[in-house]
Structure 1
Amino acid sequence: MKKYDLTVPLDVFNEIIRYKQEILILMNEHTLNTQDNSIKDALVHVSESEIYYLLEYHQKVFINYLYFKEESILENYLHWFYRVYLNKDLHIDFFSSIYKLWVIAYSKYLNKTMLIPVKKFYEFLDANNEEISKTAMELKIFYIDNKSDELYSFLVNAQKDKFREEILKNASTQEDFLHFFSTHVVKAMQKVGFMWEIGKISVAKEHISSSILEEICFEVINTFQKQESNNKSVLLVNAPNEFHGLGLKFISKLLENMGYKVISLGATGTPKKDILKAVEEFEPSYLVIGVSISINLYEVALIIKEVNKLNHQNSSNIEILLGGNACNDLNKPKELLKAHEYFKSVEDIVKYFD
């Protein structure tokens, strides 16, 4: 995709944030009531509830792109969006029609001057529609190796015993297991996700793969020796609107084995107000935030801002640590999000606490 730098003044960004819910509701109404044939045809393949989800997802990507000014957030989303929905038999004209409706929705809440960069942005996407769709269908988001490919095959074909055998061969120590997990298992699961996106495997196989992975890896983690308590507490949270909590579950169990007092708010995403309340109530030594979906990065930035404010007000020193694939969309996640550390893998997080 051609490069595009969308920079809007702060007052425009604030207006977009201020009216985001109203704009989303209006956009949904326009989409469901339009006479545009490409959108009407899309509703044959996509339910009204899914359309709303797609619109909300798009709006969050747009907000994150404006806030962080990182083009990878936009590119990765567009490739995913086109890849999944072209495989659901939506015609490419659908995307152009949606872009035009977004301009109409924003025009009700932004004055003509404020609307200019937004309009240019959607015109850019429309002009590059063909190129985006072509790139999306050709894109490979992972670099698979033979071992990862073998693990992928075991997972999607529900060969639990073979997957267990391969994991156990590489789990004589916790260090070995974590290295193997970060090097090969993660790539295998990335392939699972990609193959689902392009319609090569069913959602059932995607769910089975996750289930086998969780079961076997917890079996292994439970065999590792536990250390004595070190009296330090770790609050583990998934960012708001996150539903990928497997990595956080692993970290929770591993840190408990290492002697930390772990307070987990669960595998699914926790609302911002509840995260901040937990920070005040438990006063942990560390706050670990998992974020795997880039649309949630803006909310994470707001959470970190509030925790840093609490640190200053209370003269406390809660270390804010970040993990998850979403951070890979940022060039300097630690600096941009104002966290103490950022980790690319479960292996790196555990090494930090060791």
Structure 2
Amino acid sequence: MKTRFIISLFLLVFLSTQSFAQQKRTKIGVAGLTHGHVGWILKAKDRADLEIVGIAEPNRELAKRLTEQHGISMDLVFDTMEEMLEKTKPEALTAFGNIYDHLAVVKACAPRGIHVMVEKPLAVSLEHAQKMKKLAEKHNIHLITNYETTWYPSTFKAQEILQSGEVGAIRKVIVNDGHKGPKNIGVSKEFLDWLTDPVLNGGGAIIDFGCYGANLITWLQDGKKPISVTAVTQQLQPENNPKVDDEATIILAYDDSQGIIQASWNWPIGRKDMEIFGRTGSIHADNPSTVRVKNGEGYSGYDEETLKLEKQNTPFEDPFTLFLAVINGDLVLDKFALPSLENNMIVVEILSAAVESAKTGKTVYLKDR
């Protein structure tokens, strides 16, 4: 089932059930406040379709600072996730701590039937990811992964154009994600402490930004795994990132195409963009709302069309609308949709192979393709 059909199907269901959804507030728990993206859920506290019933965060100073900033009572904050789950009984949970703890979150939630959405990537290692998948399947919970690029209108327009055949069969995808580096852009100390820790984050830029490209390319390839993964990493800011890489390039080889993931904590200008090259043209998703399409003419000539996009009120532009739609049965994700467990298991496999390749200097060939 293709994504465009899923979106259309969702809109039909969503419109017919909208009045009901507005009356029902799903009880949401929050595990951790150290992730820099936690503002997404804290800002959503007054939404008509969800209610934050509990927050698990042992750092009381951090909890006090963020709850005051967002107008949330400290009465909702618990020192442990177990206590929060037992006392507040959430229906679903969003994880905003370090990546290593994602497994612990699923271990606590899955036996209780609590659905989980984690921030990207799914896990620090394939071993962790496999344990999480087994728990989710055993206890029949939804386990999805949140990426900022999932909510870009340009992401879906690029895929739509590719699927239309306008630029021909896919030959190469280049995904660029990066900024000046966590310390240079001023992330919080709590976030920086684990983001630059090889255990808690699984790596540096190769994980933090490499996951975007692995996610997008897996989706564009309809869930096909690459034959091999080759990666090169560097540490260009040892004073800021002494334990992890901050520059990474990952090459994915497929039967008939390539994927190139450029992940950096060294770029002077932050960017999240994607280029798709087909046999007859190319698609350039420059930012969340702009897509350029080039159709080749002769050696270097081309016609170019620029599309300016607006949000279309679909669940794929908001992590919490999508999460609620999935857990409430209003939306069934495509098997390799961007937030799906199937896609993100492949993402972790790619990243694990990339880390191994960078350490050994050798190309890693994936098994069970």
TM-score past 0.5 threshold: no
The higher relative CO (CA closer than 8 Å, separation ≥ 6) is in: 2
More strand by share: 2
- Structure having the higher Rg: 1
Name whichever structure is richer in helix by fraction.
1
What's the TM-score once normalised by structure 2's chain length? 0.25
